């Protein structure tokens, strides 16, 4: 796979945020599907990202040896992405890593190489070395939270209920679990 072609068309974090904001002004979202529900989710996600950009902090990080870049596959309407992507941006900056973002629905050939349990789950983070090789992948949410979601589903909780629980988990965790998992991945080589 030629990861560089996706990297070259990727957006910076600032450009991705500006794209979301500009689309919202036109009552649109990223991706081909447009609906009032997706617009409401995406606007809420923009607010979440604004809050994390302003108030989110990360602990000291260890510089990466092998990982040099992170390519993110996501969409603006994704609630998990809104809770994770701002922390990834802060973490990448702290580690001195370049980060770019591509939209899932415009890059399904890439997304289909990094499925989660057969699904096009986002966000998906690809950790890339100097040679353009994907060393690790991470997504779409922290393992402990994914395990909780699996449990909540098995208990028969409604989607509306466990989505609220997911966002409460993210608010309480403040990015700590994600950063711990990323640190482990980036230092595993």
**Token pair for residue 30?**
């990223």
Measured N-to-C along each axis, helices 176-187 and 143-154 cross at an angle, to the nearest 10 degrees, of 120
The reported pTM is 0.94
For every residue of 34-93, DSSP letters joined together read --HHHHHHHHHHHHHHHHHHHH------PPPSS--EEEEEE-TT-HHHHHHHHHHHHHHH
Domains and CATH numbers, the chain: 3-141+177-187 (3.40.30)
Spatial separation of the C-alpha atoms in residues 49 and 44, rounded to whole Å? 9
Q: What pLDDT digit, counting tens, does each position of 94-112 carry?
A: 999 999 999 999 999 999 9
Report the relative pairing of strands 124-128 and 134-139 from DSSP bridges: antiparallel
**Token pair for residue 136?**
């690790």
The number of angstroms, rounded, from the C-alpha of 178 to the middle of its chain's C-alpha atoms is: 10
The 8-class DSSP code of residue 106 comes to G
CB neighbours of residue 38 within 10 Å: 17
Residue numbers of the chain with a pLDDT score lower than 50 = none
Spatial separation of the C-alpha atoms in residues 85 and 164, rounded to whole Å? 19
> Which pLDDT belongs to residue 125?
98
CB neighbours of residue 136 within 10 Å: 18
Q: Which residues pair with 103 in a beta bridge?
A: 74
> Which pLDDT belongs to residue 187?
75
């Amino acid at each position: 796979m030629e990861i560089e072609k996706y990297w070259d068309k990727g957006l910076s974090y600032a450009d991705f945020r500006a794209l979301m904001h500009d689309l919202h002004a036109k009552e649109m979202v990223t991706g081909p599907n447009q609906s009032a529900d997706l617009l409401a989710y995406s606007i809420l996600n923009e607010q979440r990202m604004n809050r994390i950009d302003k108030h989110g902090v990360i602990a000291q990080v260890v510089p990466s040896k092998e990982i040099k870049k992170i390519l993110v596959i996501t969409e603006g309407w994704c609630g998990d992405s809104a809770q994770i992507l701002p922390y990834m941006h802060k973490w990448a900056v702290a580690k001195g890593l370049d980060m770019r973002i591509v939209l899932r629905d415009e890059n399904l050939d890439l997304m289909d190489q990094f499925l989660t349990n057969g699904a096009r789950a986002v966000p998906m983070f690809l950790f890339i070395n100097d040679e353009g090789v994907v060393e690790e992948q991470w997504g779409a949410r922290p393992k402990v939270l994914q395990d909780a979601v699996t449990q909540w589903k098995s208990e028969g909780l409604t989607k509306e209920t466990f989505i609220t629980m997911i966002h409460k988990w993210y608010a309480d965790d403040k990015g700590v679990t994600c950063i711990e998992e990323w640190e482990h991945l980036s230092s595993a080589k």
